[in-house]
Structure 1
Amino acid sequence: MNKRLLEIRARKMEIRKALEGEGKVNLNALQEELKKLDAEHEEIEEREKIAQGIQFDKEPEGVQKRSKPQAAVKKNPYESDEYRSAFMEYVTKGTPIPAEFRDAATTTDAAALIPPTTLNRVIEKVRTYGNILPLVTRTAYKTGLAIPTSNVKPVAKWVAEGATSEKQKKVLGSITFSHFKLRCAVAVTLETENMTLSAFEDIIVNNVAEAMVVALEESIINGTGSGQPTGILADKSQGVTINAAKLDYNTLIKAEAAIPQAYEAGSVWVMSKATFMSFIGMTDSNGQPIARVTAGINGVPSRVLLGRNVELCDYLPAFSTTLNKTDVFAFIYRMKDYVLNSNYSVAMKIYEDNDTDDLVRKSIMIADGKPVDFNSLVMLAGNATA
C-alpha cells in the first residue's frame, strides 16, 4: 500500500481517539483536517487506479496467453434460420418439415411447431390484443396441478384480559387445471409463391394472435368447462344476479350495492357496446339525459358508469326486454380473479377442406382457465319468463 495512505489512516485514528476521549479538542480544526485528509486519500487512490489501468492490457514478453474455456451454449434448433425457413415452406407450399426438426413429443394433431422467434411475437401481441385478455391473471402451471383456495377468513375478536379466543380452522379448497386443446383455424392469405421470411412471419403473427384472442376471450366469459376453459358465467348460482326489466339508474345502484367493499378496487363492468350506449342514453322523467359522458383530449368518450370502468366485448347479448332471467347481458367482476393457464406453445397443421378444396391452416394451443373467486361477481340478466 502507498506509504502516504498509511500515514493518512494513522492520523485519522489519532483524530478518532481524540474525539472519543474526554479532553478538550478544537472541533473545527479537526473537521477541516479530516476533509483535507479525505480529499488527499481520494486523489492518491485515483492516481493508483489510473496507473494500474495503463498496465492492465499489457502482456509480459515471452508469455503465451491461454484462452479461456468457452461455456457450451445449447442452441434451440427451432430458433435457427433453417427451421424458420422450413416452417415457411411447410405453411406456404406444404413441404414436409425435415426429419431433424420433427418433435417426437408433438401431438398427432399438429405437424409443426411455430418457431419461438415468431411465437414470442404472437404472445406479445396476444397479451395486448382485445379488451378482456389483458385483465385476467395468466399462469404457466403444469396441467393437473391443484391450486389451493380459501373460502373462510379468520376473524379477530376482542377478549378480556387473560382470556383466550376460540381457535379457528381455515378451510381450503382447490382449483385444478386441466389441459384443453384450443384449435384456431387461421385464414392465412398467401397469394404469392415467393415472399420474404419477415413478411411471412408478420402474416402469421397477425392471424394467429387474432384467432387465439377471440377464442380465449369468449371462453373466459362463456366457457362451459367441458372441453374448454370454465367461463366466469358458467355457474349462474355463483355471485349475485339482478333481473332487470329495463335499464335505469336504479339498476346501476343495485349492482353497485351488491359488490362487497373489499372487492371494489379492480372490479369492472363487462357488456356489449349496445348495452353501454343504452345506459348512457338513460333519461329522466323530463326526457333529459342523466348520464354525462366525459370526453378526453382526443374526443373519445370515457367508458365509465358511476365511476367504474366499462370493458366492451361482443361475447354478451345486448339488453332486450325479451331476455330470459338466465340470460346475462352485463356483469361486474374483478378480472384478476380469473386465472388463465397456458404454456403458450403453439403448433400449426395444414389440411385440405374436401368440401371447398381450400387449404386450411390451423393453430393448436393447450390452455385452461377458471375463476378462482366469485365474491366480486354481480350479473345483470333479463326479466322475461321462458
Structure 2
Amino acid sequence: MNFEEYLQNLINGYEEERTQLRTAITTAETAEERTEILNATDEVEERLRNAQEQLTNAQNEMQRRSNPNQFNILNTYGLRGSNGESENAGTDSVEYRTAFMNYVIAGTPISDELRANANTLTSDVASAIPTVLVNKIIERMEECGMILPLVTKTNYQAGVVIPTSNVKPIATWVSEGKGSDRQKKSTGKITFSYYKLRCEISMSMEVGTLALATFESKFIENVSKAMVIAKEKAIINGNGTTQPKGILQETPFKTKELAKAEPTYKELCEIEGLIPVEFEESAKWYMTKTTFMSIMGITDANGQPIARVNYGISGKPERTILGRSVVCHPYAEEMGDTKAFIFDMSDYVLNEVYDMGITKKQDWETEDLLTKAVMSVDGKVIDTGSLITVTVKAAA
C-alpha cells in the first residue's frame, strides 16, 4: 500500500465516521449528548481536512514528477480533478439526472457508480438531488418566499461557536497608529445544530410521461414551494427543539397590548413610538392579510387612511402603515396570541446545509408519488432590539 492509498483509506474512514456522527445527532435526546457529538464531529472534520490536504499535495507532487514540463494551474488550485472534470460532474451529468428522474417516477434504484458523488447527511435519504437542481431550488425559494429572502443566510457547520459580531458586522474606533490592533467586540455568540427539514410533496403519475427538462421544472417548483412554507413557519414561531427557533419564541424588546382586536389610531402611533431609531429604516410590520385589511379602514384626525396600498413598477402591492412597510403572510396559526409584530429580518440568521436528498413512496388511494425532500436547517435571532409584538388584552 502506497502513501496515497493509505491517505485515501483514512479519508474514507473519516467520512464514514462523520456520517455516523451526523446521523447520531438527529437522535440525541439531551443537550449534553448533542454537544458531545458536535465536539466529536469537529475533531473528525479537522482530521478529514488535514488528510485531504495531504492527499492533494501528494497527488500534485506525483503529477509534477511524471509530467515535469506540464503545469496545470487548475489542478494546482483544486479547481479541477486529475481527469479534468468538475467535482460534481457525476451528479450534474445528464446520465445521473435521468437516473434520478427514473428513481422519483418509477422507483428504479440509482446504480452505485452514479451514486459515487452523492453526499447525504441523514440515514433516511435514499438519493441525493443533483447539484444543478439544488441550485435552482435555492434560487426558486428566493423568488417565491415572502419572509425567506429578508433573513440573513449562512452555511456554517453545526457546532461551530460564532460571535454575533461576525454575522452582523460591528465597526469600532481605534487609536491613531493602532490600526492593526484587533477589537474584541462581540455582543454574544450562537451555535447552530442540525435539524432535518422534511417536506413531502406530491407528483401525480402523469409526471412520469414528461421529458427530463419538464420533470425537473415541476420537481423544482414543488420542492421549493414546500421548503419555503416549512422554513417561513419556523422563522416565525419554530420551537427551537426540533426545528429552528422562531422570532416569537424570543423575549421581545417591547410589547403593546391592544384594548380590542382592532387597534386605534392612537395605539398604532404608540407602537410606532416604541421602535428604536436605529431600526427606523429596516424594521417592517409582519401580519396576516386579514389583520392588515382590518387596519385599512382606520383614519387619522383629518380623515386620511393610515394604511395604504401602492403599486410599484413591478405591479405588486406595496403595503404601509404610517409609512412603515408591511409584509403580509398566510401563517395565522404560527402567530398564536400575537396579532402582529415589527422586526428587522436581517437580525434573524438561517443556517442551511445544502446537502439535499429525497425518499419516496406511492399513495395507495390516488397513485400519486409522494416525494419527501430532506435538508439540514437551523436558525436563531441574534438581536431582539427591533422586535415589537402586538397582542390583544385578554377578556376579564
- The CA distance in 1 between the partners of 2:281 and 2:207, in whole Å, is 51
Q: 1:114 aligns with which of 129, 138, 149?
A: 129
Aligned residue for 1:303, secondary structure, equals strand
1:257 aligns with 2:284: no
**Cα distance, 1:373–1:78 mapped onto 2, change above 3 Å:** same
Instruction: Point out the structure with max Rg over C-alpha.
Output: 1
CA contact (8 A) 2:198 2:372 kept: yes
Deviation at 1:254, TM superposition (A): 1.4
Post-superposition Cα deviations, 1:150-202, rounded to whole Å, max 9, x if no partner, equal 79x9999xxxxxxxxxxx99675211111100000011224154321101100
Q: Are the equivalent residues in 1 in contact too, given 2:124–2:359 (CA < 8 A)?
A: yes
Determine if contact 1:281/1:289 at 8 Å carries over to the other structure.
Answer: no
Identity of aligned residues (%): 41
Matched letter for residue 316 of structure 1: A
Q: Counterpart amino acid of 2:92? A: E
Alignment deviations for residues 303-345 of structure 1 (CA, whole Å, 9 cap, x no partner) = 01111110000123699xxxxxx71111110100000000222
Normalising by structure 2, what TM-score?
Answer: 0.68
Q: Distance in 2 between matches of 1:343 and 1:170?
A: 28
The aligned residue for residue 30 of structure 1 is: none
Q: Does 1:376 align with 2:392?
A: no
Gaps of 5+ in 1: 1-66, 157-167, 320-325
- The alignment covers a number of residue pairs equal to 300
Stretch moving more, 97-106 or 123-132: 97-106
2:95 is aligned with 1:82: yes
Counterpart residue identity of residue 383, structure 2: D
Query: What is aligned with 2:343?
Result: 333
Return closer, same or farther for 1:270/1:105 CA change in 2, 3 Å cut-off: closer
Amino acid at match of 1:239: F
Alignment of 1:296-335 (within 5 A): 296=311, 302-316=318-332, 327-335=337-345
Q: CA deviation at 1:89?
A: 0.3
Aligned amino acid, residue 141 of structure 2 = V
Distance in 1 between residues matched to 2:171 and 2:311, nearest whole Å: 44
Out of 121, 126, 148, the residue aligned to residue 163 of structure 2 is 148
What is the rounded CA distance, in whole Å, between the counterparts of 2:120 and 2:312 in structure 1? 53
Match of 2:104 among 76, 84, 91: 91
2:380 alignment partner AA: K
The whole-number CA distance in structure 2 between the counterparts of 1:104 and 1:279 is: 49
How do 1:1-386 and structure 2 match up within 5 A? Answer: 72=82, 73-75=84-86, 76=88, 77-102=90-115, 103=118, 105-149=120-164, 172-235=187-250, 237-246=251-260, 247-283=263-299, 288=303, 290-291=305-306, 293=308, 295-296=310-311, 302-316=318-332, 327-353=337-363, 359-385=369-395
| CA distance in 1 between partners of 2:189 and 2:377 (Å) | 18
In 2, the alpha carbon distance for the partners of 1:98 and 1:178 equals 32
| Deviation, structure 1 residue 101 | 2.6
Deviation at 1:297, TM superposition (A): 6.6
Q: Once the 2 structures are TM-superposed, how far is the Cα of residue 290 of structure 1 from its aligned partner?
A: 3.3
**Paired position in structure 2 for 1:160:** none
With normalisation by structure 1, the TM-score equals: 0.70
Kindly indicate whether the alpha-carbon contact (under 8 Å) linking 1:293 and 1:301 is maintained by their aligned counterparts in 2.
Answer: no
Amino acid at match of 1:254: E
Query: Do the aligned partners of residues 260 and 96 (structure 1) sit closer, same or farther apart at CA in structure 2, a change above 3 Å counting?
Result: same
Gaps of 5+ in 2: 1-68, 76-81, 174-182
Task: Decide whether aligned partners of structure 1 residues 358 and 154 sit closer, same or farther in structure 2, where only a CA change above 3 A counts.
Answer: closer
